[in-house]
Amino acid sequence: MTRILSHLGRALLLGTALLAGTAQAQTAARDDTLYQQLGAQPGLTKLMDDFMTRLLADSRMGPFFKDVDHQHVKDELVTQFCEVSGGPCKRKGPDMKKAHSGMDITKSNFNALVEVLQQSMDAQGIPFTTQNKLLAKLAPMHRDIINTP
Amino acid sequence: MPFKPSRVALACGVLPLALVCAPALAQSSPPSASTHSGKLLLTGGVSSIDGAAGGGLTPWAVTGGYGTGTEFGGSGFVTRVKTQDFGLTGYGVAASWGDRVEVSLAQQDFDTGPVGGALAAFLGDPGFNGLHLKQDIVGLKVRVAGDAVLDSDTWMPQVAVGLEYKKAHAGHLGDSLPALGNQSVLQLFGTKDSGTDLYVSATKLFLAQGILVNGTLRATKANQNGLLGFGATGHTSYKLMPEFSLAYLFSKNWVAGVEYRAKPDNFKDNTVVGAGALKEDDWADVFVAWAPCKTFSLTAAYVDLGKIVPGVVDKRQTGFYLSAQIAF
Amino acid sequence: MIKHTLALLALAAGTGFAQAGTVQLTVLDKDGKPAPDVVVLLEPAAKAKASPAASAVVITQEGSRFVPFLTVVPVGSTLRFVNKDDYDHHVRSGPSGPLGSIPAAKSFEMRLDAAPSSSPGGTDPYGNAPAPKKKGSGTSTGEVKVDQAGPIALGCHIHGSMRGQVYVADTPWFAKTDANGVASIEGVPDGAGQLTLWHPDQLQDQTPVRVQVSASPVKTSTQLNFVPRRRRG
């Protein structure tokens, strides 16, 4: 009985894996080059750790981040960056607009955050061209995030 | 020969400014105590020769300084251009509000070299030897659409419209030719002393590729950017001139590119001093800009200004362009 | 005899130009040398409109020169350009004045073939062979009516150093100075008049000369406020 179950289990696992595989095959025309260039999961985690440290220490950004759940935000950011860079992640949760509607965010704030991100990426030794590719994916979010002129 | 003093002056100006950047250059662990300035490095372009933010020769749709949103930004520049027979010094300031409006003030001082000498001989007045033609420029630019950097998922560029009011000071002729009183030497050629350029610029930074493209369309009557007056006998209407810039971002602090600027050539009919004596050529340059920090940038270029008054100097004018800018 | 003379006098007095005189002006440059090719315009107290020349006024192109260099015509006249060289010319108008600040009173251009009677195979001073006949305009003569007063500089698109000058006068009384700097105007109404001078190379206006015209010829002279450049040839 247990052998049958384990066989079934394995078959299910395989089936799921295959399904997941085909699902991924369908959506991956998804190119994960950028994701790999950023160091995949470990790289992004390291980046976000550094990013959060810098944000809290930055005189412009500190106020926005000091009262939030740092670990939660870091996890969200890792998932977000993983997704936009072509990695195997899917961000769940409120969209960008809703997530930021509770704060007044100006273009200056947005640009300041980008600067801090650039500093983090510099510190992680991420090449300039790779940095720009990531920024190019993130920049359009300004429309949903900036809510104050 | 006048180059040596400028080099010293520039070095004295540049070094202290570079030192200003030193604290910001320490990029490792300690995060910078940043200023309020809200724009990314080099996204304000550099100061063009007419004072507006952009490339060296042409205005872009970006506004100068680093203010964004409701912030003020500002910049100041000094530029020196030197070709085989001519020299130009320019300096000015610009102020911007948000990245919406930019106002600029600039002055240009053009050393006419052999042309001054030719005028002195022609008018029989040695006072024209070493003639310097000066020009004041007041600029206004308004961004009307788009964001050059952040609209990275569309083809939409940042678009701005602007004007440059230019007033030339060519010195009047009253001393040597009393009957001509307040007329300037420019009016002898049938040109006017002042004019306004109107332009529209579209600028886009293809962020993923690190390539910046700008196209400007300028309605102008200016001869040699206004240094030889505006319009000419029988050519008093506006001409539409295209201008292009193409730049590549090597790193956060380094940009290099090329520029091209078409010129109207209003004097083409004026053959009294010789056919094509006042022919005007297009301008082009290859440039590299370095911004160690937001406060300071240095631009160096190799310029090709074509022939300038070929009736006097029939030689293609090429040389260097050097510009230092401080911004906040 | 006396009756005959009296009759002659009466006849002279009775003609339309009885109240008319002659003005002869000698123009010297600032150094005192005779100044040729100076435009002289006379306006009497009672101004009159110029009437166009009866027939086309000819300006030829010979040896890559405009002949004559200076042509003064009354407003409304027709200029006829005749190419006598055995190579093409492309006549065009341009601004006048030493640095080209005076707009042309009339803008025109015309491509004129080599003269028809010429032998093919000649070259102009620049070594340009005559253009093949089929590329030409089909004619070596061109006309243009000048209906506005003022100067018109003449040039050639092909031969950059070709220079000429036209002056369209809005007064019926005009002349140009000859090689000796002398200009004569006849049939001028009696009374006060003013002579205006114009030279294509002048930077400043010349001082007008006042004359009093009567039966006896008026002879006067004046000096330019500058020394014109020597013209090539």
Same structural domain, A23 and A83: no
Residues of B in contact with C104 (CB under 8 A): 234
pLDDT in tens, B134-183: 999 999 999 999 999 999 999 999 999 999 999 998 776 766 677 777 77
Query: Is B207 within 8 Å of A135 when comparing Cβ atoms?
Result: yes
Which residue in the set A58, A111, A129 is minimally distant from B40, CB to CB?
A: A111
| Residue B111, beta-bridge partner list | B87, B132
Q: Where in chain C is the domain with CATH 2.60.40.10?
A: 21-48+171-228
Its CATH class, for the domain covering C50-170, is mainly beta
Q: Where in chain C is the domain with CATH 2.60.40.420?
A: 50-170
Same structural domain, A68 and A101: yes
- Domain of A71? 31-145
pLDDT of residue B182: 73
Subunit partners of chain B (3 or more CB pairs within 8 A): A, C
| % of residues, chain B, pLDDT over 90 | 60
| Helices (H) then strands (E): counts for chain B | 3, 14
Same structural domain, A15 and A57: no
Find the mean pLDDT for residues B101-105: 96
Q: State residue C137 phi and psi, 5-degree precision.
A: -75, -15
Find the mean pLDDT for residues A5-12: 60
Residues of B in contact with C199 (CB under 8 A): none
Answer yes or no: CATH 2.40.160.40 is held by domain B3-21+38-327: yes
Residues of B in contact with C94 (CB under 8 A): 269-272
Same structural domain, A19 and A37: no
Q: Mutate which of A33, A50, A106, A115 to disrupt the B interface (most B C-beta within 10 Å)?
A: A115
pLDDT in tens, C75-104: 999 999 999 999 999 999 999 998 888 999
pLDDT in tens, C136-192: 678 899 999 999 999 999 999 999 889 999 999 999 999 999 999 999 999 999 999
CATH of the domain at A118: 1.10.490.10
Same structural domain, A94 and A136: yes
Res. C132: pLDDT tops 90: no
Res. B237: pLDDT tops 50: yes
Query: Is B177 within 8 Å of C204 when comparing Cβ atoms?
Result: yes
Same structural domain, A20 and A84: no
Same structural domain, A13 and A50: no
Structure ipTM: 0.79
Same structural domain, A54 and A20: no
Same structural domain, A26 and A74: no
Nearest CA distance, A73 vs chain B (angstrom): 20
Long-range contacts at B126-134 (CB < 8 A, ≥ 24 apart): B127/B175, B127/B176, B128/B176, B128/B185, B131/B171, B131/B185, B133/B109, B133/B168, B133/B169, B133/B170, B133/B186, B133/B227, B133/B228, B134/B107, B134/B108, B134/B109, B134/B110, B134/B168, B134/B169, B134/B170
Same structural domain, A73 and A11: no
Same structural domain, A17 and A70: no
Residue A124 tokens, joined:
């992680």
Same structural domain, A104 and A45: yes
Q: Any idea which of A88-92, B157-161, B238-242 has the lowest mean pLDDT?
A: A88-92
Find the mean pLDDT for residues B274-279: 85
Return the CATH fold of C21-48+171-228: Immunoglobulin-like (2.60.40)
Query: Is B152 within 8 Å of A135 when comparing Cβ atoms?
Result: yes
Taking CA C127 as the corner, what is the angle to CA C126 and CA C133, rounded to the nearest 5 degrees? 110
Q: How many domains would you assign to chain A?
A: 2
Find the mean pLDDT for residues B89-93: 96
Q: CB contact, 8 Å: B43 with chain C?
A: no
Residues of A in contact with B31 (CB under 8 A): 53-54, 57-58, 116, 119
Subunit partners of chain A (3 or more CB pairs within 8 A): B
Q: Do chains B and C touch (3 or more CB pairs under 8 A)?
A: yes
- The enclosing H or E element of A17 equals helix A2-27
| Residue C211, beta-bridge partner list | C193
Residues of B in contact with A128 (CB under 8 A): 210, 249-252
Residues B247 and B235: beta-carbon distance below 8 Å? no
